[in-house]
């Protein structure tokens, strides 16, 4: 097992625009807040135990803090998207690697950290990004599920200061390895993200 330590980061700082502006991470999924599902799955990761977990949130900080981990608001203003969460995580991370997951995908794989770390090390890459098989058979990157080296902080600061906001435009500047999660044992809903309450309720009915 690789000895590089990993910090987990849950991205819960969005506007929740497609949920009517409500705080997505605090919405219940099978009776438990989405963010707590993400936290528990990070704490249950196989073969690559995490040193710690943090949450990036911009509202209801006390509610997130009640989950028992460190909570940080974006260090940039204006709900600048997932990269703002990456930036905050890299600034606060005290381990060699940062694993990012969104708050709205409660079924992500329990081998996410180990698979990404194995690929990162084998390819000597800067970033490992999960990918999922679509219904049409294609492999689609899931860039908010990423494992990255903390030395990328300076690069991300420069990218965002220049107005960059798209994850793939930033990762393209570095050696990035795509890691498919498409084996028979992978839940086809593993990377499903609930953008609306309707999607959230529909996902509940399948579990």
Residue 14: closest CA among 69, 94, 88: 88
Domain count, the chain: 1
Range of the structural domain that residue 131 is part of: 6-205
Q: Is the dihedral of CA 149, 155, 161, 167 positive or negative?
A: negative
Q: What is d(CA 189, CA 108) in angstroms, rounded to the nearest whole number?
A: 8
Q: CATH code at 160?
A: 3.90.550.10
Q: pLDDT tens per residue, the chain (207 residues)? A: 456 899 999 999 876 655 667 899 999 999 999 999 999 999 999 987 799 999 999 999 999 999 999 999 998 876 568 999 999 999 999 999 999 999 999 999 999 999 999 999 999 999 999 999 877 778 899 999 999 999 999 999 999 999 999 999 999 999 999 999 988 878 888 898 877 778 787 887 777
What are the angstrom distances between the C-alpha of 102 and each of 9, 39, 121, 173?
Answer: 8, 10, 23, 22
Q: 120 in a domain, yes or no?
A: yes
Q: 122 in a domain, yes or no?
A: yes
Q: 134 in a domain, yes or no?
A: yes
Its pTM stands at 0.92
Q: 81 in a domain, yes or no?
A: yes
Q: 1 in a domain, yes or no?
A: no
């Amino acid at each position: 097992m690789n000895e590089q330590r990993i910090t987990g980061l849950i991205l819960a700082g969005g506007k929740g625009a497609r949920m009517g502006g409500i705080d997505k991470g605090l919405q219940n999924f099978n009776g438990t807040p989405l963010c707590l599902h993400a936290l528990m799955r990070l704490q249950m990761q196989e073969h690559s135990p995490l040193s710690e977990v943090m949450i990036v949130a911009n509202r209801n900080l006390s509610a997130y803090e009640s989950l028992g981990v460190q909570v940080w608001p974006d260090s940039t203003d204006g709900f600048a998207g997932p990269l703002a969460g990456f930036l905050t995580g890299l600034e606060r991370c005290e381990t060699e690697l940062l694993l990012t997951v969104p708050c709205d995908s409660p079924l992500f794989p329990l081998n996410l950290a180990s698979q990404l770390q194995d690929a990162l090390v084998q390819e000597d890459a800067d970033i490992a990004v999960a990918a999922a098989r679509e219904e049409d058979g294609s492999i689609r990157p899931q860039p908010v599920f990423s494992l990255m080296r903390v030395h990328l902080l300076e690069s991300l600061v420069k990218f965002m200061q220049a107005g960059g906001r798209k994850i793939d435009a930033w990762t393209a500047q570095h050696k990035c390895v795509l890691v498919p999660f498409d084996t028979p044992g992978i839940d086809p809903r593993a990377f499903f993200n609930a953008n609306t309450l309707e999607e959230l309720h529909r996902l509940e009915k399948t579990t």
